[in-house]
């Protein structure tokens, strides 16, 4: 049986301060795991790609794979683009802005092996999971969105809008093809579709830390998008 390999997809947009730290943490926590880090930079004006090239020199081309795109094309398409280049049989998706700590990845891997899960999702809403650095309004919106989604969709996972997950590669390919949402709703649809297809989902409690550097990307328009997306999924699943 071939050794499992893990492809970590890191979509980036203006993450030059965060990228060296996240890559260093990944290498530190995955030193005994067969892995590659695929950086998908969407034409960041802050020259994130230059930083990525320097990191590639340090860690090697087999560990750091650069698959940039010309301009900002969004998360869903970044995953599609990344999967095409992934050589692992498992794919891990996470944010590059240090809100997801790589120290949880070995727990994801163990959980997947123990339960033979198709997907392992990091959850902020069960066990020892939590959110740090958010004001009360953000917490209420996130909890509320999650709660409403639980009632409407009964997805079989406690954290739907999180984006820190491990997938079997072929499962991720199938889900991405089936998803129609973009942006914030995309993560939620992935879990809802997974339930439709009968894929198994394990959960690992994680602590989510709000952005250390740079601007947060969640605003009023995302909340409206989320509500629309939720209604769409409720109507079609």
> 161: domain CATH number?
3.90.550.10
Number of domains in the chain: 1
Residue 69 falls inside a structural domain:
yes
The whole-number average pLDDT for the span 171-176 is 93
Please check the confidence at residue 169 and state whether its pLDDT lies above 60. yes
Residue 168 falls inside a structural domain:
yes
Render pLDDT for 80-109 as a digit per residue (tens, 0 to 9): 899 999 999 999 999 998 889 999 999 999
Higher pLDDT, 52 or 235: 52
C-alpha count within 13 angstroms, C-beta hemisphere, residue 120: 21
pLDDT of residue 33: 96
Residue 1 falls inside a structural domain:
no
Whether 89 contacts 53, CB under 8 Å: no
Whether 154 contacts 188, CB under 8 Å: no
Please check the confidence at residue 218 and state whether its pLDDT lies above 90. no
Average per-residue pLDDT for the chain: 86
> Percentage helix, strand, coil, to 5, in the chain?
45, 20, 35
Task: Give the separation between CA 141 and CA 120, rounded to whole angstroms.
Answer: 24
Percent of the chain with pLDDT over 70: 88
pLDDT of residue 155: 66
Confidence of residue 179 (pLDDT cuts 50, 70, 90): confident
Residues of the domain holding 120: 6-236
Whether 37 contacts 10, CB under 8 Å: yes
Task: Give the separation between CA 58 and CA 126, rounded to whole angstroms.
Answer: 38
Task: Give the separation between CA 45 and CA 48, rounded to whole angstroms.
Answer: 8
């Amino acid at each position: 049986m071939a050794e499992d390999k893990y492809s970590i997809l890191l979509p980036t947009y203006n993450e030059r301060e965060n990228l060296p730290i996240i890559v260093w943490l990944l290498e530190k926590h995955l030193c005994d795991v067969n892995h590659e880090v695929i950086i998908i930079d969407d034409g960041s004006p802050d020259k994130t790609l230059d930083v990525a090239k320097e990191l590639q020199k340090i860690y090697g081309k087999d560990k750091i794979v650069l698959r940039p795109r010309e301009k900002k094309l969004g998360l869903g398409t970044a995953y599609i683009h990344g999967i095409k280049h992934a050589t692992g049989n498992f794919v891990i998706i996470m944010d590059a802005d240090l809100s997801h700590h790589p120290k949880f990845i070995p727990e994801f891997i163990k959980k997947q092996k123990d339960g033979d899960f198709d997907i392992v999702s990091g959850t902020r809403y069960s066990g020892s999971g939590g959110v740090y650095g958010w004001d009360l309004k953000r917490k209420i919106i996130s909890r509320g969105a999650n709660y409403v989604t639980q009632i409407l969709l009964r997805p079989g996972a406690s954290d739907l809008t999180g984006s820190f997950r491990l997938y079997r590669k072929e499962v991720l390919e199938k889900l991405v093809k089936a998803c129609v949402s973009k942006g914030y709703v995309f993560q939620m649809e992935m879990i809802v579709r997974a339930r439709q297809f009968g894929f198994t989902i394990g959960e690992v409690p994680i602590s989510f830390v709000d952005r250390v550097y740079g601007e947060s990307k969640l605003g009023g328009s995302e909340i409206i998008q989320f509500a629309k997306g939720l209604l769409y999924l409720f109507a079609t699943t």
